[in-house]
Each structure stands twice: as C-alpha cells, then as structure tokens.
Amino acid sequence: MRRVLILTAVLIALLTCASSAMAAEIPFQKVFSENINGNIAIAANGSVQCDATQAQCAEALYRKGKLLNNNDWAMQYVDIDEDPTSFSSSSSVLDLPVGARVLYAGLYWGGYTAHAGRGAVGLREGNGDYVSIKASELGTFGASGQAYGGSADVTDYVREHGRGTYWVSNIRTNVGNKDVHAGWSLVVAYANPADPPRNLSIFDGYLAVESGKASVTADVNGFLTPKTGPVRTAVGAVAWEGDLNLTGDQMLLNGRQLSNNANPANNVFNSSISTFGSFTNTRLPAYTNLFGVDADIFGADATYLPNNSSSAKVQVLTNSDRILLSTLTFATELYAPNLETRKDVNDLNGGAVEPGDVLEYVIETRNTGSDDAVDLVLTDDIPPHTAYIDGSAEATNGVAGEVRGIVKGWLGTGAAAHNGGTLAPGESASVTFRVRVDESAPDATHIPNTVNVVGTAPTIRSRMTNYSNTESVVVGKVGEDSTGGPDGDKSPDPVINSGETATGATSTTTSLGVTITPSKKRPRAGTRFTYTVRTVNTGADLSAEGVETCVPLPAQVVVTKTFGGVVKDGRVCWATGAITPGAVAGHRLQVRVSSFASGAVVIAPASAVADNAKRARAASRVVVPRDGITPFVPTPVTG
C-alpha cells in the first residue's frame, strides 16, 4: 500500500517476537491522519461459511449452538453476486453521509492458502463491473506461510463511486478444510461539514497476536480533546482468525478494556462485524457469525480518553486465541472551532426567476465549536449566468467585497479587507450580496451556488474548511416555474444538495426527462470522476422513438471514457433508440479535470430529444477546490 505519512513523525511501539516463522509479518504503521470535520467508516463481510448441507450450520451462522468456530467446519465459499467469473463474493454498504468527500480508502482481505492468486481480488460498487485490485503489501504468518493478509489503497476508486454497496470477489482460501477463514474490509476516512471536527487516524499492517506474545500497540498523537464537557472517541479494528468460542482476547484504550453488546471485554475478536455494539446488517449475506472475520467499531468516553488529552494508546492482546491483526482506526472529537455555514437566495421581485431579475444571497457562518476560528475567510464564486451588482456585498461582523469575479468575506473580530478576523465559540458572521440574471439566460437555465469558509484552529494549529448547502434556482418556466411547483405557485426556490438538476419537456405524444449526476461534487484538479446520465420516458402511453442523449463537454474537463458514447462536435452522444413509457436509459461518461482548473466551477449540461418529443434539458455543477486542507504536522515525538 502506498504509505503516505501525513503525520511525519509518529511513535508506533511494536513489541514482537522475532523468529523465522514470523519474518513475513508486516509491522504496523500510520497510513493516514488528519484533523478535519469528518469520520471513519468500515464496510466488511466474510467470504466463507459453514457447510449449509449440515444440520447445525443454520444455527452456527447466527451464533447459536455449539459448533461456532471455523475449526468445527469444512468451510465453503460464499458466492451470491450471480457473476459467472467469481467463485466467491459478498457485499456490504459503505454508508457515507450525502456530500461526504473521501480522504482515504484502504481495502484489506485475508485468508488461508498458498495459492498464487491470493494477492488479487475483485472490487465493484453496485452492479458495475469488477476491477482487479492487487495487493501492494501481502503479509503471511506461520511456518507454512498460508495465513495471509493483503492490502491496497483504493482511494481513487471509492472517491469516484462514493457511498453505495461494495462487492469483493475471489478471495482465496483452502475451502473444504477446517480452521480456515476468508473475508474483507473497506476502511474509509471522509470529510463531512456536518460532522464535528475530529482527529482521524488509520494504522495497518499484518501481525499475529498470540498467548505469550507481547501486545501490538499503536500510539496516536497530534490532537487535543475538548478541555471541558463530553469526550467522544471511536476505536475500530479489522482482524482475522478470532473465534467466537475462544476467549481471552482484548483491545484496550489507554489501558482500559473496550467492549460492547456485540463484543465482550474478554472476547472482542469473536467473528463479528459491528458498530457500537450492534451487528451490521447492511450486508449480503448478513450472517452474524463470520467464522474468523472481525471488523468492529467501539465507542469510548472521557473515562478512556480524558479532557485536554493530546495522545492515546491502543493495544491488542490475547491469552488463548490467535488474532491476525490487519487494521486499527481512531477517531476523536477535537478542541477546535466548528464552522457551520448556511446560504439562502431570494428573487427580490418574487415569482419565477426571469432574465434581468435581481437575486440576493445571504450567507451565515457560525462557530459552534470549542475553540476560536482565526484568519476566517469566506469565498463565493459569482453564480453562472449572472453579473455581480457593484457595491452590493456587505458583511456583519466582518468586511466583504468582490475580487475578480469572487465575493470575499473577511469575518470575525478584527477583520479587515484581505485579513480574516476571529470568530469565538457561539459567534456568527454573515455576508449578503446581489447579482442580476443575464438577459440572455434561456428558460431552464440552472443557477447553482455554493460557498466555502476557511479558518484556522489556533490551539491544534490546523486549517478547517466548511462548505455551505448548494442553493439552485431555475430560470423561466418549463412546464413548471423556477420554484419546481405548478405555474403560479410561489413556493421557495429549491435547495439541490446532490449536485444534480433536471427538467422535463413535454409534447402531445410522449415526454422525456433527463438528469445528469456527477460522482464527485468537489473533484480536485487532475483527478477523474464520472457523470451518470439518465433519460426517462415520463409519458403514460407511447414509446419515445429515436432518442438521442448528449452532453456538451465543459472546457475544464477531458473525456477519458465514453462507455459507448460517440464524441462529435464537442459533445458526447448516445443513440438510445426507443424508450417505452416509464423506462430509463442510463449512460456514463468518465472525465478528467484539467490540471489548470483549480477554483473552476464546471457546469455540465445534458439534453435528450426524440422523434416524437420535445427536448429535455438538465445541468450539473461541480466546484474544483481552490486550496486543499492543510494537514497538521506535529512536533516529532521521541522516546
């Protein structure tokens, strides 16, 4: 796995017994750490089960009966994806919040075999095609070297596909034998403005924890817990070979045993996949006994990690079972500012938004965290298809103005033009500005807008970024007015949080609708993402004939894959043919953001037309971040 040490100086104390049999184990090290609004999610499942032809297997799958360990069964592959190319497959939902941005994703798998193909598995999201994932590191244990664990950095893949159901296939193990295991885990750190600021840290390796062998210990630092009030911490672990009927294994945070309803204090590695004591059931299959596969997240309070703490120690040990440890995760809330930003837009003359109308944007940022936010700066690109009204930018508790097509707000006490101020906990600041809709803006033009606010957490010396909701209005009337309601309805303009906008066009014979959805809402310059385009026949009776769906290419992106589309005249088009009433034709388009597009707003329109229906239009908007989030680099720790 690519080892990007974001915290460059970390003490990882690993006390291991040196022997030739263990020479292929992989020492634990920190592969990711950042202070940011966000969290860590784990999706996981097993790849083997007991022999379903045996009477007691049905009980054992759900942690009942006496034959509960993989030692008791000749294990069989799980394979439920209906894909003839796979011999094993299982799935789990990666439950990321809407709008979350993937920071790091690692895929881990393990089994028991010497097969030459154990270093590669298949990965897919949803019903797409499997991609081959090869282990960048492959650890083994024991004299035979058959117990193994593989790992790979899959950040780009998970960034592109986001939240959803992930499948992993073809994990090798010696099926037909007792005392073998197989399973996988997807460990993801993500940023999310709605989450509190946290320290997110991920360690991985491949180490055996056995009776008589010293514990595996990971030291975490580079954070500061709240000085007063609750301290909320989550510790996660992925491991192989932990048995349900063998006790004595423990996981400790600062010397105190972690446990919950699914994981007793003296048997935390008990073939379970759980979160805060509840078995995770968003898996296929959803058996609760994983026969040697563990992926669990534990909660901890201030009795484990007190107020004003700047370091923590996670330990794994056992006095009877054998644990093959793969991953440890740590997430704790910080003593830091928490910026919450909200944007609203109003059409000042009411009714539908028309060319020439004046729109007023109101943005409020509040610090709901525990520390000051300093050097606080708000940045908002002038919305597309509008022109800024000179002198309209105003601020409360700060200074605002327009700078080369961007509204800037320098907020907080002591703010001045080009210098952000300080926003103490509980304080807020706001910016208001106005734009005029272009006279040339045609009906169905979407005008989306998102703002970001950046400040510094002074105590932990880390930059913090917050993004507002996306406000979008639609120009004119296309069957519906700009508010999305019936003509004449003056309900508020919609908030479109998904990055997707859509309109419909109606004829006397049938009607079409089209949507275009980006897989990333904030793709970085130089990275790839995918547009999903869906064309639907919204009519009740007749097929739409001769349907063609097209996406004009934005200047800021380059096409890398069309999935059957044809590039012509600066557009990618798909000839769909006939679409029956209620049916949907789906298309994909992969693009790469230009390396020079930093700070750009990318508007991608889509249209669909049929021989017997009027054109349907839609548009999507993504924002290429202008600046990345600056990670905190701590003072080196020694000793």
Bigger pLDDT: 478 vs 599? 599
Residue 459 and residue 531 in one domain: no
Per-residue confidence (pLDDT) for residue 494, from 0 to 100 = 26
Q: What share of the chain in percent tops pLDDT 70? A: 87
Asked which of 317-321, 468-472, 476-480 is least confident by mean pLDDT, the reply is 476-480
Per-residue confidence (pLDDT) for residue 471, from 0 to 100 = 73
- The predicted-structure confidence for 505-525, as pLDDT tens digits, reads as follows 333 457 888 889 998 888 887
Which of 456, 481, 497 is the endpoint of a domain? 497
Q: What share of the chain in percent tops pLDDT 90? A: 55
Residue 503 and residue 464 in one domain: no
Give the domain CATH number at 602: 2.60.40.1510
Residue 342 and residue 315 in one domain: no
Inform me whether the pLDDT recorded for 15 exceeds 90: no
Give the domain CATH number at 434: 2.60.40.740
Q: Is residue 373 part of a domain?
A: yes
- CB neighbour class for 443 (10 Å; exposed up to 12, middle 13-18, buried from 19): middle
Average pLDDT over residues 417-432: 95
Inform me whether the pLDDT recorded for 544 exceeds 50: yes
Residue 553 and residue 450 in one domain: no
Average pLDDT over residues 575-593: 86
- The predicted-structure confidence for 351-389, as pLDDT tens digits, reads as follows 888 999 999 999 999 999 999 999 999 999 898 889 999
Q: Is residue 71 part of a domain?
A: yes
- Residue 257, CA distances (Å) to 214, 251, 269 in order: 16, 6, 13
Asked which of 25-29, 374-378, 466-470, 556-560 is least confident by mean pLDDT, the reply is 466-470
Residue 541 and residue 479 in one domain: no
Residue 239 and residue 367 in one domain: no
Inform me whether the pLDDT recorded for 8 exceeds 60: no
Average pLDDT over residues 137-142: 94
Give 613's DSSP letter: E
Bigger pLDDT: 515 vs 501? 515
Inform me whether the pLDDT recorded for 81 exceeds 70: yes
Per-residue confidence (pLDDT) for residue 501, from 0 to 100 = 35
Q: How confident is the model at residue 90 (pLDDT cuts 50, 70, 90)?
A: very high
Q: Is residue 9 part of a domain?
A: no
Q: Is residue 482 part of a domain?
A: yes
Q: How confident is the model at residue 626 (pLDDT cuts 50, 70, 90)?
A: low
> What's 193-232 look like in SS3?
CCCCEEEEEEEEEEEEECCCCCCEEEEEECCCCCCCCCCC
- CB neighbour class for 427 (10 Å; exposed up to 12, middle 13-18, buried from 19): middle
Q: Which domain holds residue 31?
A: 20-333
Residue 98 and residue 209 in one domain: yes
Per-residue confidence (pLDDT) for residue 605, from 0 to 100 = 85
Inform me whether the pLDDT recorded for 343 exceeds 50: yes
Residue 323 and residue 341 in one domain: no
Inform me whether the pLDDT recorded for 482 exceeds 70: no
Bigger pLDDT: 555 vs 288? 288
- The predicted-structure confidence for 428-445, as pLDDT tens digits, reads as follows 999 999 999 999 888 778
Average pLDDT over residues 575-601: 81
Q: Is residue 6 part of a domain?
A: no
Residue 165 and residue 303 in one domain: yes
Q: Are strands 273-275 and 293-300 parallel, antiparallel or unpaired?
A: parallel
Using CA atoms, how far apart are residues 68 and 130, in angstroms rounded to an integer? 32
Bigger pLDDT: 495 vs 221? 221
**Contact by Cβ (8 Å): 522, 381:** no
Inform me whether the pLDDT recorded for 13 exceeds 70: no
Bigger pLDDT: 421 vs 464? 421
Which of 497, 525, 549 is the endpoint of a domain? 497
Which of 333, 361, 392 is the endpoint of a domain? 333
Asked which of 50-64, 506-520, 569-583 is least confident by mean pLDDT, the reply is 506-520
Per-residue confidence (pLDDT) for residue 633, from 0 to 100 = 32
Q: Is residue 4 part of a domain?
A: no
Q: Is residue 8 part of a domain?
A: no
Q: Is residue 24 part of a domain?
A: yes
Inform me whether the pLDDT recorded for 628 exceeds 70: no
* 307 three-class SS: coil
- The predicted-structure confidence for 28-46, as pLDDT tens digits, reads as follows 999 999 888 899 999 999 9
Q: How confident is the model at residue 54 (pLDDT cuts 50, 70, 90)?
A: confident
**Contact by Cβ (8 Å): 637, 534:** no
In total, how many domains does the chain have? 3
- The predicted-structure confidence for 60-71, as pLDDT tens digits, reads as follows 999 999 999 999
What does the chain come to in residues?
639
Average confidence score pLDDT of the chain? 84
In the structure encoding, which two tokens stand for residue 126, read together? 């949803």
CA trace torsion 308, 316, 256, 295 (10° rounding): 80
Using CA atoms, how far apart are residues 502 and 578, in angstroms rounded to an integer? 21
Residue 562 and residue 414 in one domain: no
Residue 184 and residue 289 in one domain: yes
Residue 488 and residue 349 in one domain: yes
Average pLDDT over residues 165-190: 97
